[in-house]
Chains A and B, each alone.
Chain A
Amino acid sequence: SQQGEEDPQALSIQEGENATMNCSYKTSINNLQWYRQNSGRGLVHLILIRSNEREKHSGRLRVTLDTSKKSSSLLITASRAADTASYFCATDIIQGAQKLVFGQGTRLTINP
């Protein structure tokens, strides 16, 4: 079964606008990661946030983590056409050993 659930499943915005995606998870984690997948390609790591961190920035990306609500959000500012992709959150589940489990993803479309 999947650990993370992204919301929304699909998002379409105009170039230049900000895009926000949310992820909820079920069990305790050490960290949460966000990945991007362009059509037909492998996944690319974007950012990792640890359970003792609340917010992290990387370029136009801003990630927040609320462990009390078991949720995270990814904000992409000033979106570009090249940001069109699927975005996945992944959590490391601690059940004996850490394993990396992905959600179903958000399909982001940036319209020119």
Chain B
Amino acid sequence: NAGVMQNPRHLVRRRGQEARLRCSPMKGHSHVYWYRQLPEEGLKFMVYLQKENIIDESGMPKERFSAEFPKEGPSILRIQQVVRGDSAAYFCASSPLTDRAKGYTFGSGTRLTVV
């Protein structure tokens, strides 16, 4: 089991471009969480998804950010028209259906740099 796979590890985008971050959960995990870590800060929850459903997006900025977890394929966090303030590490975690908080497995993260 390869664990939670995130790609790319590093992503550089110019202001105004789009960023797409991918997360493949662990085998058997049906829940995906996205967190953002700004420089010098802790991880902040963004969104929680199950297959084809957004369950909680209370941490997502209202504009430019969207997330999906399709029936097939990885979960995608999409940031449109990136700005310098979007530069951060974005972490994905997955968990099984039961005892979700215990079963959290994190990916290695994607470090987004906006230039």
Q: Do A and B bind each other?
A: no
B residues near A, CB below 8 A?
Answer: none
